[in-house]
Amino acid sequence: MGLVVSVNGEFFTKREDAKICVYDHGFLYGDGVFEGIRAYNGRVFRLDEHIERLFTSAKSIMLNIPKSQEEVKRLTVETARKTGFKDVYIRLVVSRGIGDLGLDPRKCSKPSIVIIADAIALYPKEKYEQGIKVVTCSTRRTRPDSLNCEIKSLNYLNNILAKIETIHYGADEGIMLNDSGYVTEATADNIFIYQKCKLVTPPAFIGILEGITRNTVIEIAKKIGNKVVEMPFSVHDIYGADECFLTGSGAELIPVIEIDARPIGDGKPGKHFKKLLEAYQELTRTTGTPLYENEK
């Protein structure tokens, strides 16, 4: 079938038919939360974790989702199933809903639930084989005491400004630092480096979103014998790293071969990245919530 969008339980197969009111506070103020979810080989990967995080984000901004977690899971699976795809990207959005032109969330009587199920390809195939080039952005990551980065909110302007820098400099991605100069994450992905026989990634308290893919990679890495450390590091540490790669539901795992015109390691995707990618792809192919009866 192809693209399917659910807007408050009503299904559409054309993007121009799927509409929300212009008075929705998700549109007016970025007041809402979302999740990016993947299905592989007819199975939705880590659905429970994604829905749990969605509800945690909603609770943090005092947004009461008018469905239970199980109901949202069922609607998510139903929307993805209607595409007819076995591999599908799912964008699940819950906004504050329709209100007035003021900020007051009490004027929004009912949250809006939108689920988009479609194909996605953030990078061409050769980027996964050859690696990407990144730059360090001057735009700093929002401080956790201003807006907690663990809330996966609809307000991505901070990331977009960094993405604009990335585009301006002709890079594939941008690395964002916090106000102390430590690496947090890329504009849309978490970051790992392999350095001194260990896999290192920034900790949550430094100002990152703990990605589902990030946590999955940590689990896999430990199972296959890698030492994993969550600790702050600087761009200088990336310059001297043996390997670097990014993780995210959309991008999955993608190797970084250059940062700020400096090659990382030998300038090619590293052996540890390749082992992790292979294990991750096997896990996504064989586990998850079934979309179709024959996938159980």
Q: Give the active site residues.
A: 152
Beta pairing partners, 198: 195
What is the spatial distance between Cα 208 and Cα 203, in angstroms, rounded to a whole number?
7
Burial class from Cβ neighbours inside 10 Å (0-12, 13-18, 19+) for residue 150 reads middle
Q: How far apart are CA 118 and CA 15, in angstroms?
A: 10
Asked if 230 and 210 count as a contact pair (C-beta separation under 8 A), the reply is no
Contact 118, 83 (CB under 8 A): yes
Beta strands in the chain (DSSP E): 4-7, 10-12, 32-40, 43-44, 88-95, 112-118, 132-136, 173-177, 183-186, 190-195, 198-201, 228-230, 243-248, 252-259, 262-263, 289-290
Report the interhelical angle of 212-223 vs 47-60 (nearest 10°). 130
Q: Note whether 182 and 201 are within 8 A (CB).
A: no
CA atoms of 59 and 41, how far apart (whole Å): 32
**CA atoms of 270 and 256, how far apart (whole Å):** 9
